[in-house]
């Protein structure tokens, strides 16, 4: 009983000490890989003009992505990793690529 209380107390303390101060970081963390891949793949393809194969390898990180869709017609790239999807689009010859906000409609496919 006493041991269980100790365990519970440890968990509560851990939440307070580690998770609570980092809650904003922890909530946003899973978004990084999908957003990074979508943005940097878009720029690699449509700003720098590299091949799809090169850009897949170039954006590879130690966290794997589940899905990548590149629509060359719209110059729009969607990537999903750690369960979160993000899209980036090429906007113009001076503007290059930018991540789209979650409000902007997803690409149709």
Q: Give whichever of 54 and 67 is closer to another protein, judged by the CB atom.
A: 54
- In which element (H, E) is residue 77 found? strand 76-81
Query: Which residues touch 79 (CB under 8 Å, ≥6 apart)?
Result: 33, 34, 35, 37, 38, 41, 65, 67, 68, 69, 85, 86, 87
Q: Give whichever of 8 and 104 is closer to another protein, judged by the CB atom.
A: 104
Q: Give whichever of 9 and 57 is closer to another protein, judged by the CB atom.
A: 57
Q: Give whichever of 9 and 60 is closer to another protein, judged by the CB atom.
A: 60
Length in residues, the chain: 109
Residue numbers at the binding site for another protein (CB under 8 A): 22, 24-26, 28-29, 31-32, 35-36, 39, 43, 47-51, 54, 57-58, 61-62, 86, 93-99, 101
Q: Whose structure tokens read 């003009």?
A: 49
Tell me the Ramachandran region of residue 20: left when phi exceeds 0, alpha when psi lies from -120 to 50, beta otherwise: alpha
Nearest distance, CB of residue 108 and another protein, angstroms:
21
């Amino acid at each position: 009983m006493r041991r269980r209380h100790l365990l519970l107390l440890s968990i509560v303390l851990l939440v307070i000490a580690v998770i609570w101060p980092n809650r904003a970081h922890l909530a946003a963390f899973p978004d990084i890989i999908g957003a990074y891949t979508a943005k940097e793949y878009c720029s690699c393809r449509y700003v720098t003009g590299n091949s799809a194969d090169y850009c897949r390898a170039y954006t590879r990180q130690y966290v794997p992505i589940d899905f990548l869709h590149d629509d060359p017609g719209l110059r729009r790239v969607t990537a999903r990793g750690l369960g979160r999807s993000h899209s980036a689009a090429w906007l113009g010859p001076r503007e290059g690529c930018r991540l789209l906000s979650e409000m902007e409609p997803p690409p149709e496919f």
